[in-house]
Amino acid sequence: MTPLHDNLKDLQYDIKVQTHDGEEVYRTVTLLSDSGAQSLHGRGTRVWKVVRVKDGEAVGDPVVLKDSWVDLDRPREGAILQEICGMAASEPVDKTLSDALLTVECYGDVVIDGDGDRCIDRTTRMNLSDLPTHGSDTDTVVIKLLLHCHHKVHHRVVFKEICQTIQQLVSFHDKFRVLGQTSIILKALHGFGWVHRDISSGNILMDSFGRAKLVDLEYAKKLDGGDSVAETQVGTSKYMAVEVGARGYRFRPPLDLPPIPKDYILRSTDFDSISEGDSALNIPPPPRPILPIPIRGPVTPFRYNPIHDFESLWWLATHFMLKIEALYINEQGPPPARSLDELREQRNWSLFLSYDRTERLIALSDSDKFQEILCSLHPSVKPYGLALDTWRSRITCAHRQAQQTPILNADAAMRGLYDAFSQDLFTMANALARKTVVTEESEKERLAQLTAAAEVQGTSATKRRLDTQIESHEDDRNPGGIDVATPPHKKARIVRPVRAILVEGPAARTRSRTKANAR
């Protein structure tokens, strides 16, 4: 990466991308995204709009270059995209998936002095139980720390399409419409035997034609378990499925406990038959029979499944719904103002469901809890919340149905849900297209505009009032409106600065002399 000049306000780079056939050079045009790039933990992703450079000159159409640090032992995103697109191309009947993925132009790891640019991410938290409990076994500590660290490699990939993330879209109509398209895309992706594992607002895009694009497939995985990559917790926390965050199943049926024998229940002691010298504590209780330990059938380890992707999409729609504070039709004007307590409660729920795992689990599995959340919404937004509550119930039912057997059957549990959820999201989008959406950001912008307009209006009104006072003062002092010199024997009664009018010439002296004679 080479800077072209020292101007920090308009800094450009020539970035090399190492490929299998050599290297390509791209020149940055503008920075599209650097969210989280300054964090010590993460992938440090930066995305630029770039153009290819040939012989020192920029040529061709603009493309997108993604620069990030990825896990060393994982397949690269470009290779995964090419593999999935190759599978989709083998079945021309369904092009939904191939149309929803970005086109890879080139990709490769960064090479410095003939070796890969690598590092170790040591910011991963480690459980205290993993540390040695006695002695000073330094080698054991080092080995355990290395096992819990993530080995990263610097990687770059170039895509041909330039898109916007769903988070950057201003229109909620476009947001819910793109979510509806994403539900169909997930159906195609899961049908090809893959799961995305990181459905979030930054990984769903919209291109210039209004079509949804699914990106960041670095952590995508085959459902058949053909790859040798270990199952790890991945995804964005605020949109992550609750089971993925807990790393365990939460909707499995309870154990079938055998009936308790009748003689296992202790009868109450007859205290009347105990003499004064005896103690109830010295009376031996009747023997307890040994209960058989309930044994469940073989249970497979926790694995990410398509329902988790679908749940993440639901969390994303719920997050957008909680951002809507009111809706109104333009002809009817804005709705009545809400109390600050109601607004604060709705905003707090948005935060709790984003970062509190306990609240997220209760909100997903408990209908009463989600109804409490809906009570904080504006009446115009509640119909959207009720629709998402219905889907909350259907998602939990899908989890329970899939977890009835030791080997999960997510395909049967998800049958028919993709299309129905997509249709409901499209219905929400069409309803939002005819209404004005009030959010916290829009209210801040509106209040700022009103404040600025009031300041301008107040300044103009003050200026007009002062001008009126000045003109009135001049009329009282000089009915003719001409400023003449005050006679030296009279005391000036001007109490504030007034506008001075320069009077020169014989005509002005004649008028002044005429007015003086008239007095």
Could you write out the three-class secondary structure of 433-447?
Answer: HCCEEECHHHHHHHH
Average pLDDT over residues 152-175: 93
Q: What is the pLDDT of residue 429?
A: 96
Report the range of poorest mean pLDDT among 100-104, 133-137, 258-262, 390-394.
133-137
Domain tally, the chain: 2
Q: Are residues 352 and 443 in the same domain?
A: yes
Q: What is the pLDDT of residue 314?
A: 97
Q: How confident is the model at residue 518 (pLDDT cuts 50, 70, 90)?
A: low
Q: Are residues 106 and 30 in the same domain?
A: yes
The answer to the question of residue 28 being in a domain is yes
- Give the angle 183-185-186 at the CA atoms, nearest 5°: 65
Q: Are residues 151 and 250 in the same domain?
A: no
Rounded CA-CA distance 103/105 in Å is 6
What pTM does this model have? Answer: 0.74
Q: Are residues 38 and 58 in the same domain?
A: yes
The answer to the question of residue 448 being in a domain is yes
Q: What is the pLDDT of residue 470?
A: 47
Give the domain-ending residue among 161, 186, 205. Answer: 161
E strand intervals along 416-495: 436-438
Average pLDDT over residues 357-383: 93
Q: Are residues 117 and 213 in the same domain?
A: no
Q: Are residues 71 and 179 in the same domain?
A: no
Q: Are residues 319 and 430 in the same domain?
A: yes
Q: What is the pLDDT of residue 118?
A: 74
pLDDT score of 478 more than 60: no
Q: Are residues 214 and 334 in the same domain?
A: yes
pLDDT score of 100 more than 70: yes
Three-state secondary structure call for residue 262 = helix
The answer to the question of residue 412 being in a domain is yes
The answer to the question of residue 298 being in a domain is no
Please give the C-alpha separations between residue 24 and each of 65, 158, 159, 376, in angstroms, as whole numbers: 11, 10, 13, 54
Q: How confident is the model at residue 20 (pLDDT cuts 50, 70, 90)?
A: confident
Q: Are 41 and 52 in contact (CB under 8 A)?
A: no
The gap from C-alpha 436 to its chain's centroid, in whole angstroms, comes to: 22
Q: What is the pLDDT of residue 87?
A: 65
Report the range of poorest mean pLDDT among 389-403, 426-440, 467-481.
467-481
Q: What is the pLDDT of residue 496?
A: 45
Q: Are residues 107 and 170 in the same domain?
A: no
Q: What is the pLDDT of residue 51?
A: 96
Q: Are residues 201 and 321 in the same domain?
A: yes
Rounded CA-CA distance 54/243 in Å is 50
Rounded CA-CA distance 509/264 in Å is 126
Rounded CA-CA distance 517/511 in Å is 10
Q: Are residues 47 and 62 in the same domain?
A: yes
The answer to the question of residue 204 being in a domain is yes
Give the domain-ending residue among 420, 439, 462. Answer: 462
Q: Which of 56-81 are b and which e, b meaning 16 or more Cβ less than 10 Å from the residue's Cβ?
A: eeeeeeebbbbbbbbbeebbbbbebb
The answer to the question of residue 370 being in a domain is yes
Task: Kindly state the tokens that stand for 323.
Answer: 């951002």
Domain that holds residue 377: 163-222+236-255+303-462
pLDDT tens digits, 40-97: 666 788 999 999 999 888 899 999 999 998 888 888 888 888 888 776 555 544 678 8
Report the range of poorest mean pLDDT among 199-213, 269-283, 309-323, 492-506.
492-506
pLDDT tens digits, 308-355: 999 999 999 999 999 999 999 877 777 877 888 889 999 999 999 988
The answer to the question of residue 96 being in a domain is no
Q: Are residues 456 and 308 in the same domain?
A: yes
Domain harbouring 432, CATH code:
1.10.510
The answer to the question of residue 213 being in a domain is yes
Return the top range by mean pLDDT from 184-188, 224-228, 234-238, 451-455. 184-188
Segment holding 164, helix H or strand E: strand 164-165
pLDDT score of 282 more than 60: no
Burial class (CB in 10 A: 0-12, 13-18, 19+), 117: middle
- The overall average pLDDT reported for the chain is 78
